[in-house]
Chain A
Amino acid sequence: MSETMYATALKTALFEIKNVCPDVNHAFILMENGTVVAADDQPLDPSLEKAVGSIQDLAEKSASIGGLGEFVIDAEKGKVYVSQVNGMYSILALSKRVDLPFLRTITNIVLPTVLKVLHGIDNPETSISTPLKSAPIVPFSVLKQASSEPQVNEEEIEESFEKPEKLEKDDEIEKPESVEDLKIETETKKADEAEETETETPEVAELPSQQLIVDKFGGLMVRSDTVQVDFEILDRWASTLNVEEIREVDVETFRGKTTRCKAKVINDEKLQGRGIIRIPEKACDALELKRGELVRVKPVIAEE
């Protein structure tokens, strides 16, 4: 893939970050080869070029602390956040009131994902390892069976080798089975069993899920068991699962805490389409969640 394509994709990513975080005033990416990609089409002025050069210099001299990961400057009129993403540096000039943890989460999701996709397109052989959909849940028993399969087969082979020796005198056995035959047999068995498991697993779980950014909300009339999700997401899940509407969702934190909540559409227009889930303060406390953190959200199909 050409550098221009990379630059265009990164530029779009920066533009989207600016859309999500209005506190981002300027956004740049310093690529590995020293090229600077800006979110807007304005050319770099000399002072900015000097600044970018100084960041490159700092990155080289940061070996003593394990390389430059983050560089945060808190100044009189704003903040500057520089973070390393896959060997590149994102440089964001921010307003004073910026929510840095939220921005950090966004940047650390959007840019690596874009870079991963670009890398995947560039090198189709090393395709993206992360599944886009959540992996189907395979029951432990199936996993256990699958993992113990080769051992069983080996034992079978060994036993069948021993059998002819033990039953030498038995006239009914005309020919001992050859190793090749046995291998073919075990392979066909494996294939049959694999087919069986394949047919079983889709029924177990094929629920869609989505990672969303947490936004807290509270108030007197707020029900602590109801979360707000984008209409588009709920609608997409409803059509995927062939149900009228999604009434409940499972919210799972990355610390492993899960809760089931009623789902409603985000009522604040400004917050729609931003990939966030609005969770009541009480529920956030119960799940030990902070604003800006990521959660995995799955729809719950109502049992009729």
Chain B
Amino acid sequence: MPVKKKIPQIEATEQVEWAPRHEVKEHAADMRTTLDRMKTREGVIGYILRASTSATVDIKDPSKIIEYAVLSTSALESAESVLEAFEMGKMGSVVVEGKDLKVLLLTTDEHRISVFMEKNVDHNAIYKELTH
């Protein structure tokens, strides 16, 4: 008997004019999925994903959450004020490197993302994955 080949079916959702759009929510879910996938990479310690009203934190060492949150806020604020001073326009990515670890920070329209990792991890690859 011939084996039936399963064909994955894509559920196409058509947006009607009168219905509320759910793009932002979907985008946040996508981003979280990407970050979760990235966290499984060797050397990636965790991430902080902030939206305007909520935040998702996934850090391997929970005792460091507050310190990392403070650092990421401070780094983004600092980057914004430096760019304002030098009139360099919109922020792309920010990398803060310490003796032990480094952090990649980026902002999208709705989110502020911080990915914490070991120094030997290629942050450019992570940045590309998050932005494309």
- Chain A interface residues toward B at CB < 8 A: 25-26, 45, 47-48, 50-51, 54-55, 57-58, 61-80, 82, 91, 93
Cβ contacts B60-74/A at 8 Å (1 or 0 each): 000010011011001
A42 to B71, CA, bound (A): 31
* Interface size grouping (class) on chain B: 20 to 34
Given contacts A58-B75, A64-B71, A65-B71, contact A74 B94 (CB under 8 A): yes
A82 to B92, CA, bound (A): 16
Label chain A's interface by main secondary structure.
Answer: mixed
Q: In the complex, are the beta carbons of A54 and B96 less than 8 A apart?
A: no
Asked if B89 is an interface residue, CB under 8 A from chain A, the answer is: yes
What would be 17 A-B contacts, judged by CB atoms less than 8 Å apart?
A47-B81, A51-B86, A58-B78, A61-B71, A66-B99, A66-B100, A67-B98, A67-B99, A69-B98, A73-B93, A75-B83, A75-B88, A75-B90, A76-B92, A80-B83, A80-B86, A93-B88
Q: In the complex, are the beta carbons of A76 and B97 less than 8 A apart?
A: no
B-chain residues with CB within 8 Å of residue A54 when the two chains form the complex: 74, 77-78, 81-82
A-chain residues with CB within 8 Å of residue B70 when the two chains form the complex: 61
* Apart from A55-B78, A78-B86, 20 more pairs, CB < 8 Å: A25-B86, A47-B84, A54-B77, A54-B78, A55-B82, A58-B75, A58-B78, A61-B70, A61-B71, A61-B74, A65-B99, A66-B101, A70-B95, A73-B93, A75-B90, A75-B92, A76-B88, A77-B89, A80-B79, A80-B82
B-chain residues with CB within 8 Å of residue A77 when the two chains form the complex: 87-89
Asked if B39 is an interface residue, CB under 8 A from chain A, the answer is: no
A-chain residues with CB within 8 Å of residue B68 when the two chains form the complex: 64
B-chain residues with CB within 8 Å of residue A67 when the two chains form the complex: 98-99
A91 to B87, CA, bound (A): 15
What residue in chain A is nearest B72 (Cβ atoms)? Answer: A61
- Chain B interface residues toward A at CB < 8 A: 64, 67-68, 70-71, 74-75, 77-79, 81-103, 116
CB distance from A45 to the nearest CB of B (A): 8
B-chain residues with CB within 8 Å of residue A51 when the two chains form the complex: 78, 81-82, 84-86
What residue in chain B is nearest A26 (Cβ atoms)? Answer: B86
CB distance from A151 to the nearest CB of B (A): 41
CB distance from B93 to the nearest CB of A (A): 5
The listed residue (A45, A58, A72) touching B95 by CB distance below 8 A is A72
A65 to B118, CA, bound (A): 10
Q: In the complex, are the beta carbons of B91 and A75 less than 8 A apart?
A: yes
A71 to B77, CA, bound (A): 13
A71 to B91, CA, bound (A): 13
B-chain residues with CB within 8 Å of residue A76 when the two chains form the complex: 88-92
What residue in chain A is nearest B64 (Cβ atoms)? Answer: A64
CB distance from B15 to the nearest CB of A (A): 31
What residue in chain B is nearest A25 (Cβ atoms)? Answer: B86
Q: In the complex, are the beta carbons of B87 and A65 less than 8 A apart?
A: no
A-chain residues with CB within 8 Å of residue B96 when the two chains form the complex: 58, 62, 65, 68, 70-71
A73 to B86, CA, bound (A): 11
A-chain residues with CB within 8 Å of residue B79 when the two chains form the complex: 71, 73, 80
CB distance from A14 to the nearest CB of B (A): 15
